[in-house]
Amino acid sequence: MKPEDLTTAPLRNSGNILDFTQAKNLLYSELKGLGVKDSELPAFVPDKKDLRIEFPIPGADKGQLLDCIQIVRNHIENLRIHTFEPGYVCLQALNENLFETKNILDNAKFRFYSGRNQSKIEMTKKGDFHREEIFSAIDLFKYLRLSKQESVQNPKELLLRLGIDVFDPIEAKKKGDWMTFETIAGYEDVKRQILESIILPLKSPETLEELSKLTRKFPGRTKPRAILLEGEPGVGKTTMAKVISCMTEIPLIYVPVESILSKYYGESAQNMAYVFDVASLFPSCLLFLDEIDSLAGSRDDGLFEATRNILSVLLRKLDGFEGGQKSITLGATNRKQDLDKALVSRFDRSVFFPLPNEKERAAILGNYAKHLQDSERLTISQRLGSHSGRDLRDFCDFVERRWAANLIEKGLKPTPPPYELYLETSSKSGK
């Protein structure tokens, strides 16, 4: 539903003034005609010297708030934005003559409140409402309440508004992008930990529950709620998260740090809470918080208030996040020592991803230089001692670009880069 599609009344006309009873009857009859139940109708009451229309909404992002401004403008031509801040927006109707400012504060005001506990719209005016002002309230209700009931069923769209992508393993399988442990060369110990800590418990949570009944005096859920993946950049933490998603067939919500942080006061913490709330709408999900150290460092280091607020939300949400029976939170960091101790304690287990050893580097090179002999890849691996999996991929990319340039310049048909070029390039590697 688009804002321009919601115009249901003519523009401002002084002959359209309604008394309290007329305005209330119009508002309620229109909404009931749309199937709104009596218990869901907006409050319409006299409030001191004002008349007030108020109704809760399921929250609104910046894009929806801009849509709301357009909806009001569809009915009230002369309008100004009085306040536009995170969590609060106020619109003020102006006089028909823009140069006349007398009693301007008596005109209709539209207030949009968006908070962690409650979000609502409040419309007030001193004196009687105009007909088009009532219709603006009706259209706001239709946009934020009726159309929202449909969109809330699609959490993917809600997350996209923050720039958060959802990796769907079923779609990946259709596209041929299916991933397994074989996708990541080496790391056998890490794979065993991942299998025991995440994959098997998610595949068969009922086994853990039955085991709890056999062993515990007070049985409860023993499924891990949060696992921390730690290691240097490029060692495969994000790739492993996608492997987990594919092997469990559970969607992966990838949350990059930039999707949470905001320059506006309080909005970063709200974004963090929003992500957890939307994640709970999935029947099952893997919530992957990348670079979690950038979001919630240690309080011992003297945090800024904004970071402290994010940490507070994160601690509370990790404690309360259940999601579906097959849901779990994954955090990724390359600076575990910088994380707040209370946050680290929220993770049931930490899985460390070391830099690959010599044999693992050779195996990784097998994914990007399959035409080389095993002995040749091992020799190259020995020269790239401190390279991560990502570094090795970048190294092979660079070799291929050098070889492609040579082929293009000489007008030759494509052939694989020779071993000697890999060897020469490895000797010049910066690591």
Q: Report DSSP letters for 86-106, one per residue.
A: TTEEEEEE--SSTT--TTGGG
For residue 305, pLDDT over 70 is answered with: no
H-helix or E-strand spanning residue 92: strand 88-93
Euclidean distance between CA atoms 346 and 331, whole angstroms: 11
- pLDDT at residue 116 in the model: 55
**Planar angle of CA 426, 429, 431, nearest 5 degrees:** 120
Which segments within 315-402 are labelled E, that is strand?
328-333, 349-353
Q: What is the mean pLDDT of the segment spanning 202-212?
A: 86
Selected residue with higher pLDDT from 223 and 75: 75
- pLDDT at residue 143 in the model: 87
- pLDDT at residue 153 in the model: 55
- pLDDT at residue 396 in the model: 96
Residue pair 336/228 in contact by the 8 Å Cβ criterion: yes
- For the record, the structure tokens of 87 come out as 């969590």
DSSP-assigned letter for residue 264: S
Euclidean distance between CA atoms 270 and 280, whole angstroms: 16
Q: In this structure, are strands 109-114 and 119-126 parallel, antiparallel, or unpaired?
A: antiparallel
Query: Percent of the chain scored above 90 by pLDDT?
Result: 47
Q: In this structure, are strands 109-114 and 50-57 parallel, antiparallel, or unpaired?
A: unpaired
Average pLDDT, the chain: 85
Closest to 92 (Cα-Cα) out of 81, 103, 84: 81
pLDDT in tens, 308-340: 788 888 888 887 665 556 789 999 999 898 888
Euclidean distance between CA atoms 294 and 307, whole angstroms: 9
Residue pair 190/240 in contact by the 8 Å Cβ criterion: yes
Confidence of residue 189 (pLDDT cuts 50, 70, 90): very high
**DSSP count for the chain of H helices, then E strands:** 18, 12
**Planar angle of CA 56, 19, 47, nearest 5 degrees:** 45
- For the record, the structure tokens of 72 come out as 């009001």
Closest to 51 (Cα-Cα) out of 13, 5, 108: 108
Q: Under DSSP, is residue 82 helix (H, G, I), strand (E, B) or coil?
A: strand
For residue 218, pLDDT over 60 is answered with: yes
Of the listed ranges 59-68, 117-126, 135-144, the least confidently predicted one is 59-68
H-helix or E-strand spanning residue 119: strand 119-126
- pLDDT at residue 148 in the model: 55
- pLDDT at residue 11 in the model: 39
The residue behind tokens 């340039």 is 405
- For the record, the structure tokens of 209 come out as 């529950």
DSSP-assigned letter for residue 338: G
C-alpha distances in Å from residue 79, one per residue of 84, 121, 291: 14, 17, 43
Which residues, 6 or more positions from 349, have their beta carbon under 8 angstroms from its beta carbon?
193, 197, 224, 227, 228
DSSP-assigned letter for residue 17: B
Euclidean distance between CA atoms 76 and 129, whole angstroms: 12
- pLDDT at residue 232 in the model: 93
Euclidean distance between CA atoms 13 and 117, whole angstroms: 38
Sign of the dihedral defined by the CA atoms of residues 295, 299, 301, 305, in that order: positive
- pLDDT at residue 10 in the model: 42
- pLDDT at residue 340 in the model: 86
Selected residue with higher pLDDT from 85 and 387: 387
Residue pair 23/136 in contact by the 8 Å Cβ criterion: no
Residue pair 60/151 in contact by the 8 Å Cβ criterion: no
pLDDT in tens, 378-427: 999 999 988 999 999 999 999 999 999 999 999 999 999 999 999 999 98
Selected residue with higher pLDDT from 26 and 313: 26
Confidence of residue 14 (pLDDT cuts 50, 70, 90): very low
Euclidean distance between CA atoms 230 and 252, whole angstroms: 18
For residue 181, pLDDT over 80 is answered with: yes
Confidence of residue 149 (pLDDT cuts 50, 70, 90): low
Confidence of residue 35 (pLDDT cuts 50, 70, 90): confident
- For the record, the structure tokens of 376 come out as 């040749």
**The total number of residues written for the chain in this structure:** 431
User: Phi/psi of residue 50, each to 5°?
Assistant: -105, 160
Selected residue with higher pLDDT from 110 and 273: 110
C-alpha distances in Å from residue 377, one per residue of 208, 357, 371, 419, 430: 43, 13, 10, 9, 19
Q: What is the mean pLDDT of the segment spanning 39-67?
A: 85
Query: Percent of the chain scored above 70 by pLDDT?
Result: 88
The residue behind tokens 């507070």 is 312
User: Phi/psi of residue 123, each to 5°?
Assistant: -120, 120
Confidence of residue 9 (pLDDT cuts 50, 70, 90): very low
Euclidean distance between CA atoms 384 and 391, whole angstroms: 9
Q: Under DSSP, is residue 21 helix (H, G, I), strand (E, B) or coil?
A: helix
- pLDDT at residue 212 in the model: 84
For residue 107, pLDDT over 70 is answered with: yes
Distance of CA 249 to the CA centre of its chain: 20
Sign of the dihedral defined by the CA atoms of residues 332, 336, 341, 346, in that order: positive
